[in-house]
Chains A and B, each alone.
Chain A
Amino acid sequence: MLDRMKSALAAAAAVLALAGPAGAQTTLNVATAGDQNMVDYIKDYLGPMFEKSHPGVKVVAVGTGPGDGGSQKIYEKLSAQRQANAPAWDFDVVVAHQKMAGQMVKEGLLAKYRDKIPTGNLVSRDTAENSLGAEVGGYVMPMFHSQTALAYNADMVKTPPATYTDLVDWVKKNPKQFGYNGIKGGMSGVAFVTGWVYAFGGDADKLMKGPYDETLKAAWDKSLADLKEFNKNVVITPGNAGTLDMLNRGEIAMGPVWVDMFYTWQAEGKLPPNMKLKLVAPGMPGQPMYYAVPAKAAQAKLAEEFIALATSPEVQAEGIVKRFNWYPGIDAKYLQAKLDQAAWQKLFADITPDDLSTKGKPFPIAPYFNDILESYEKKVAN
């Protein structure tokens, strides 16, 4: 009996010894906020591609959850590791939303890496420099840009409203035909509300660029009272997908959606082909997600190479535009040669590049952003 145990132990030791070199394999930990599709993108597409060009490296994707909450978790983890004086932090690459990215840069949790990678100079949008009022130049690379717009059923709506003011009239004439998800059910509703404040709250420019002035929110009272009135004739849907669901079933004729989600659902046959998009004036917000490297990443060098691959024109064209219908993180002109005409056209079918540059707005700077959400809770929802 004892002998048998001894030999079992010896065998176990041998297995461990054999596993040694495999265990020494380098791991690159990529933490992403966002939906499951982001995790899958790293796991199924980027990861294998990177592992192929870097033998001995294993890419591990960790999802921290959708929305700002997912980014909040990344921040809490990095912040805790710094407080614990950990010599090397767990995450090598993080994918985060705007609000937390700004804060992480401010608190010194991220490394300044953009100048070190070859794709660093392909970025042209101002979101690469400024994230909701926080200076992030050099610390982040946009992974993609996402945009909200009104989706409408072209059979039910012949002439879609061109501005927020038109929309208010339209909703009066067509009660319960417009739906959005409020602010707790997903970001397309938040974007709609933000666009509303840009349109009717006065001084939208200051909201986007700062500096922060607390007295400004008093000027929103009238517009928020109007929004409360407006809400009486609309449907509050359960979430981003809830809005698309209701559009799909013909229960509403119009509603704000994320452009990429819209095209993906349409490509999968979950939305009828008669659905179209309209970016109304003065504009609706969109947002990027960022690739960043934590200040004490264990594999900083590999992390930079990973991001360089992920932001190369080939991957941006194939992975970001074709797979997800997102607008690219780097300047679109570098992609035109990599995309066939159909893919390029589709990206700008209902929303022209001109629409995008005049009416694609950023979200407001962080303190105004919080003010808008909280004023909405106080004056519209409760």
Chain B
Amino acid sequence: MAANRPTLLGLALVAPALAMVGALFLYPLGFSLAAAFTGREGGLSLEHFAKAFELYSGDVLFTLFIVLAATLGTAVIAIAFAGMLTLGETPWVLAILGALYRWPLFIPFIVAAQCMRTFLAKNGLMNNSLVALGVMEPLQATSFLDWRGIIITFVWKQAPFVTLLLAGAMAALDRSTIEAARNLGASRLRSLFDVILPQVVPNLMVALTLSFVTMLSVLSVPLMVAGSQPTMLTVDMAFRINSYGDYATANALGVISYAMTAVAAVFYLRHSVRKEAEA
């Protein structure tokens, strides 16, 4: 009990770190929250939110749609990859997959966006390759440089991250349950969904929450991959500041983003609290 009581020395040790968090994170956060709710006359006001919704309500929905769809896509791919890595039986396929899937993790969003610009364009690498392979007629080619392009880029970037966490969790499972299922005749798909996945759902949720928050904050991808109507909130925030020097509305948009991440954070906390309670 006594060991848990904070000592002066302990406080002194964490003080510099706390000060850094306070000065570089809490203060700006509080400042932007306050600015979003402060009216032109200085009193408490919702006028910036009214403006944000008047101009960007479509973009709020668009952002939510993009991030949710990309999270879902990421989940599907990550489950498929992690499942393959855990249950796969062809060693060379596993070796190649294991070596390749991590690559996007090391590519920054802005580089990924730039590559996708030439890859997904109407006459870009993807369509040209499909035409050259005879899969598609040139006239059927369409550009993916719109909402689909943003989702594809996000999924491409985030799937390896979620796979990494998920495959790690799956590898830590007790193999005997999986083997028992396989011995009793369960197909690999069945053992993945009925035996393995239920045990790693908390890990999956945490990984997805983290990538949800990451995708919500990316500016380069929506800016570079798709046109600006509609667009994501990060682009709108940059535009408010760059074109009008209007930090107030940008802050209001920021608060709307916080609200979205808050929903994700609740998920995250619930899961980690439950995990701790179980432990």
Residue numbers of A with Cβ under 8 A of B are 67-69, 72, 75, 181-185, 189, 231, 235-239, 242, 245-246, 249-251, 370, 373-374, 377-378, 380-382
B71-79, B115-123, B206-214, B252-260 - interface stretch: B115-123
CB 8 Å contact bits of B220-252 with A (1 = contact, 0 = none): 000111111111000110110111110000000
A-B contacts, 19 of them at CB < 8 A, read A68-B243, A69-B243, A72-B241, A184-B231, A185-B228, A231-B229, A236-B227, A236-B229, A237-B227, A238-B223, A238-B227, A239-B224, A242-B227, A245-B121, A249-B124, A374-B55, A378-B54, A381-B230, A382-B59
Residues of chain B within 8 A (CB-CB) of A235 are 143, 227
Q: In the complex, how many angstroms separate the beta carbon of A301 from the nearest chain B beta carbon?
A: 31
CB B110 to nearest CB in A, in angstroms, measures 13
Which chain B residues lie closer than 8 Å to A374 at the CB level? 55
A182-B143 contact given A249-B121, A370-B244, A377-B55, CB 8 Å threshold: no
Q: How far is the CB of A39 from chain B (nearest CB, A)?
A: 18
A133 to B117, CA, bound (A): 39
CA distance A377 to B28 in the complex (A): 28
Contact A72 B242 (CB under 8 A): yes
Asked if B58 contacts A382 (CB within 8 A), the reply is yes
Contact check, B227 vs A181: say whether CB atoms are below 8 A apart.
yes
Which residue of chain B has its CB nearest to the CB of A243? B227
A231 contact set on B, CB distance < 8 A = 229
Chain B minimum-CB-distance residue to A373: B243
Q: Is B268 an interface residue (CB 8 A)?
A: no
B120 CB → nearest A CB, Å? 11
Question: Which chain B residue has the least Cβ–Cβ distance from A378?
Answer: B55
Known contacts A181-B228, A182-B227, A238-B225, A69 near B241 by CB under 8 Å = yes
**Given A238-B225, A381-B229: A246 touches B121 (CB 8 Å cut-off):** yes
> What residues of A have a CB within 8 angstroms of the CB of B238 in the complex?
69
CA distance A251 to B239 in the complex (A): 27
Instruction: List residues 46-79 of chain B with CB under 8 A from any CB of chain A.
Output: 54-59
Instruction: Give the CA-CA distance A26 to B35 in the complex, in Å.
Output: 41
Top 10 closest A-B pairs, CB basis?
Answer: A236-B227, A69-B242, A184-B228, A182-B228, A249-B123, A251-B122, A184-B239, A381-B229, A377-B55, A185-B228
Alpha-carbon distance A250/B123, docked complex (angstroms): 8
CA distance A281 to B55 in the complex (A): 30
Q: Which of A231, A239, A373, A381 is most buried by chain B, counting CB atoms within 10 A of its CB?
A: A381
A182's nearest neighbour on chain B, judged by CB, is: B228
B145 contacts the other chain (Cβ, under 8 Å)? yes
C-alpha gap A326/B118 in the complex (Å): 28
| B117 partner residues in chain A, CB cutoff 8 A | 238, 242, 245
B59–A238 touching, CB < 8 Å: no
B176 to chain A, nearest CB (A): 52
Q: Which of A184, A185, A374, A380 has the most CB of B within 10 A?
A: A184
- From A67, which residue of chain B is reached at the shortest CB distance? B242
Residues of A within 8 A of B118 (CB): 245
**Cβ distance B240 to chain A, nearest Cβ, rounded Å:** 10
Q: Give min CB distance, A354 to chain B, whole Å.
A: 33
Closest B residue to A381 by beta carbon equals B229
For B122, list chain A residues within 8 Å (CB). 246, 249, 251
Partner of B55, one of A245, A246, A382: A382
Contact A238 B55 (CB under 8 A): no
A69-B238, A382-B59 known; 19 new pairs, CB 8 Å cut-off, are A68-B242, A182-B229, A183-B239, A184-B228, A185-B223, A185-B227, A236-B228, A236-B229, A237-B227, A238-B226, A242-B117, A242-B224, A249-B124, A251-B121, A370-B244, A374-B55, A381-B228, A381-B230, A382-B230
A382 partner, pick from B57, B121, B124, B226, beta carbons under 8 A: B57
Within the complex, the shortest CB–CB distance from A215 to chain B, in Å, comes to: 19
Give the docked Cα–Cα distance between A260 and B15 (Å).
55
Q: Which residue of A lies closest to B239 (CB)?
A: A184
Give A69 to B250 CA distance when docked, in angstroms.
14
> What residues of A have a CB within 8 angstroms of the CB of B245 in the complex?
72, 75
